[in-house]
Chains A and B, each alone.
Chain A
Amino acid sequence: MSLEEKLALLAETIETDVENLEPDRKLEDIQEWDSMAKVSLIVMLDEEFEKEIVADDLLKLETVQDILDIME
């Protein structure tokens, strides 16, 4: 999956615009990054990448790049 495809999927998942997802952007600075977005992300990573995120992993996510790194 290309970077553009990953960003499009991530944008759809957390219901934000791709323009908000610069890799170094802090997640806390993204308006749509709320509990609902986090739950949606957990499901997307499981379904699309077979990555099971545990609660502690979620706490470690700081930037968009941190999520992109999991989307492998």
Chain B
Amino acid sequence: MKYDRIIKGRFVDIRSIDVEDAEFSYDIRNMEFARNLVGKQVKDVDSQRKYIEQQLDREGDYYFVILSKSGKKIGLYGIYNIHDNIAEFGREVSIGNSVQAMETKLMMLDFARDVLGIKQVYSVIYTCNVKQLNQQKRFGIEPIGKVRRGDDECFEFLTDIDILIDRNKKLRKLLSQIEGNDSFKE
């Protein structure tokens, strides 16, 4: 599905993916660091283009391109498998800085709750993605089980979106404090 508006942030803007983003999305998903973060890769840019075409027609599936404030494409983020006010968050990959990555997460939570009416967030984290698992632990968010994605094992999480937004209050405040630091917007 396509969301027609650009979601504006302090450090990033977010818009729906388009078939013209196929090369970017193929390239970034195939970067070495991304291989343990995202799911199965398609074989080439044409396949990626077809995937995006199908994704745009799919109900309950939003796929976004993250842009720096200068307009450079720096990442991808997905909200999908939406049913019964539950959405899966994932397909996240970023070459932006830490500030941009954290703001993206907040903006996606706000969008899901305020625009899509999502009440709970389902997500999986690959068992090898120690950093992200630690972050969940620090937020007091426990996995509900394990699931396989392709050849890999993942922890799965199902969390009330209001809890996630509440636990990120500190982060929201921190981001507002560094709003004037333009280096994190490039």
B99 within 8 A of A: yes
A59 to B131, CA, bound (A): 17
Cβ contact within 8 Å between B138 and A15: yes
A16 to B70, CA, bound (A): 34
A31 to B133, CA, bound (A): 10
Cβ contact within 8 Å between B102 and A56: no
A59 to B99, CA, bound (A): 12
Query: How many residues belonging to A are interface residues under a CB distance threshold of 8 Å?
Result: 20
Contact bitstring B34-69, A, C-beta under 8 A = 1, else 0: 000000000000000000000000000000000000
Cβ contact within 8 Å between B177 and A55: no
Cβ-neighbour of B181 out of A15, A32, A47, A52 (below 8 A)? A52
Given contacts A35-B101, A46-B178, contact A55 B183 (CB under 8 A): yes
Residues of A within 8 A of B (CB): 15, 31-32, 34-36, 38-40, 42-43, 46-47, 52-56, 58-59
